[in-house]
Amino acid sequence: MAISVVMPRLSDTMEEGKILRWLKKEGDRVEGGDIIAEVQTDKADIEMEAFGSGILRKIVVGAGQSAPVGQLIGVIAEEGEDLSALLTPVAGMAAVGPTSIESGASASVARTLEVAAPGRIKASPLAKRLARAQGIDLSMIKGSGPGGRVIRRDLAAVPPSAAAIGQPAPPIAERAVAMAPTAPSAEFEDRELSPMRRAIAKRVAHSTATVPHFYLTVEVAMEKAAELREAMQAQAPDLKVTFTDIIIRAVVMALARYPAMNASFMDDRIRIYSQINLGIAVALEAGLINPVLRDCAKKSVMQIARESKNLVERARALKLRPEEYTGATFTVSNLGMYEIEEFTAIINPPEAAILAIGRIQSTPVVVDGAVQIGQRMRMTLSCDHRAVDGAMGAIFLQEVKRLLEHPFHLILQPE
């Protein structure tokens, strides 16, 4: 019995994957569980196993090509078995390269995607049609119909800027032509979007378009936190304890005290999470990723330092498993090491807030009427105003500041 090998969904947000390389050639024998290919997703490079045994008879999507989740990428079958039934309906799809998917404008491509992922997105026929016409990616819409089915009214709620994310190319191209029909174009190079870049583009655009952000900034005296860090460093010379680790501990303690910040706005309710899963924004060459420290309410600074070091290293090597970069309930993003004084970060939906950390700088400060040199750090909290109001955000931020300025709280044995 022939087995269709389809592009697997390797993360929640994955919509397509790129075959980095096939580890088996056409004609090779494969056993169930063999690694047959490496796939690049929006988050990581992942090895793909065969689900059954036989001969890899056909590679439909070659190395370097991308395919949407659910699309046929190869066929495993016995020698001499007739594959025409499996291959015929997708003959057209195999020819669809990544570039033509990107252009996304022609009906045939849209239909291909629909066929490729049947039943993946529950949506009414009308919603599908409207989404196609308006270039809205249905996978980004939370359906309000039975069982989360996307219906017409869900699309009406999508603001036009978000609606444009799906297919920005045609209108922009048209506009450019209309505005400067004769102007010589500057030289340029078009870079293909990596799956990760595409996922980032969608997420941030979706977040800024749909999540009403507000920002709160506070300045924190970091002298005592610096002392704590030095003391810890002395105690565990092999382990590098960073300011981020200490800040994370403070954030986790503040979240435990104010669970309203550890929340998601869910359209008709607010979900408060009982577990704290802290995302850490990590810059990569090709983009960024948020590894997640799970259930960290009771983790000490040392534990946080150890686990985050491991996570960050593997994130940089693109070796995270999906469960290690999904499910955060709050994120911390630190750009202090790049000498950024302060910045505002974009919330990762469905999280309700993100804390952006600037650098620690020496500043003249007045203490007891005298000018001294102080160590000051500015941090900015971005909140989803649908879930959290200003005062709540401020109280939370005040608590983080208090903990960092009185860091002995951070090392008291967690209850």
Partner 1 sequence: MADEHTYDLAVVGAGPGGYVASIRAAQLGMRVALVERDRVGGVCLNWGCIPTKALLQSSQVLSLMRRTGEFGIYADNLRADFSVAVKRSREKAERLSKGIEFLMRKNKVTVFSGEARFTSVKELEMIGRDGKTSGAIRAERILLATGSRPRLLPNVAVDGKVVLTSTEAMLLDRAPASMIIIGAGAIGVEFADIYRAYGTAVTLIEMLPTILPYEDEEITALLHRALTKKGITILTNTGVERVTVERGQARVRVSGNGESQELLGETVLVAVGRIPNSEVSGLKELGVATKNGFVTVDERMESSIAGIYAIGDLVGPPLLAHKASHDGIDAVEKMAKLEDVATADSRRIPSCTYCYPQVASIGLTEAKAKAMGHTVRVGRFPFSASGMAITLGETEGMVKVIADAAHGEILGVHIIGAHATELIAEAGLAIALEATPEEIVRSIHAHPTLSEAMSEAALAALGRALHI
Angle, vertex CA 364, rays to CA 361 and CA 365, nearest 5: 105
DSSP lists the bridge partners of residue 35 as 49
Least Å from the CB of residue 127 to partner 1? 6
Per CB under 8 A, the list member of 126, 176, 286, 317 interacting with partner 1 is: 126
Structure-token pair, residue 21: 């390389």
Least Å from the CB of residue 162 to partner 1? 19
Q: Which residues, at least 6 apart from 388, have a Cβ–Cβ distance to it below 8 Å?
A: 260, 261, 263, 352, 353
Least Å from the CB of residue 261 to partner 1? 25
| Using rule CB under 8 A, residue 121 touches partner 1 | no
Distance CA 116, CA 61 (A): 13
Angle, vertex CA 298, rays to CA 293 and CA 300, nearest 5: 80
Per CB under 8 A, the list member of 124, 303, 361, 398 interacting with partner 1 is: 124
Per CB under 8 A, the list member of 7, 69, 96, 151 interacting with partner 1 is: 151
Least Å from the CB of residue 267 to partner 1? 12
Least Å from the CB of residue 136 to partner 1? 12
Which among 69-77, 140-148, 213-221, 279-287 is the span making contact with partner 1, rule CB under 8 A? 140-148
Per CB under 8 A, the list member of 110, 130, 216, 315 interacting with partner 1 is: 130
| Using rule CB under 8 A, residue 146 touches partner 1 | yes
Q: Which is nearer to partner 1, 129 or 240 (CB)?
A: 129
DSSP lists the bridge partners of residue 3 as 76
Structure-token pair, residue 156: 């009406």
* Tokens 């690049």, residue located: 40
| Using rule CB under 8 A, residue 118 touches partner 1 | no
Is 406 labeled as catalytic in the residue annotation? no
- Find the DSSP H helices in 213-242: 223-235
Q: Which is nearer to partner 1, 264 or 398 (CB)?
A: 264
Number of H helices, E strands in the chain: 14, 18
Least Å from the CB of residue 148 to partner 1? 9
Q: Which is nearer to partner 1, 146 or 369 (CB)?
A: 146
Which among 40-48, 121-129, 194-202, 333-341 is the span making contact with partner 1, rule CB under 8 A? 121-129
Angle, vertex CA 295, rays to CA 289 and CA 300, nearest 5: 95
Nearest in space to 318 (alpha carbons), one of 16, 42, 18, 34 = 42
Structure-token pair, residue 288: 């960024």
Which among 17-25, 63-71, 141-149, 216-224 is the span making contact with partner 1, rule CB under 8 A? 141-149
Which among 90-98, 118-126, 234-242, 342-350 is the span making contact with partner 1, rule CB under 8 A? 118-126
C-alpha dist (Å) from residue 47 to 8, 110, 128, 313? 11, 28, 32, 19
Question: Would you give the end-to-end CA distance of the chain in angstroms?
Answer: 57
| Using rule CB under 8 A, residue 147 touches partner 1 | yes
Q: Which residues bind partner 1 (CB under 8 A)?
A: 124-127, 129-130, 133, 145-147, 151-152
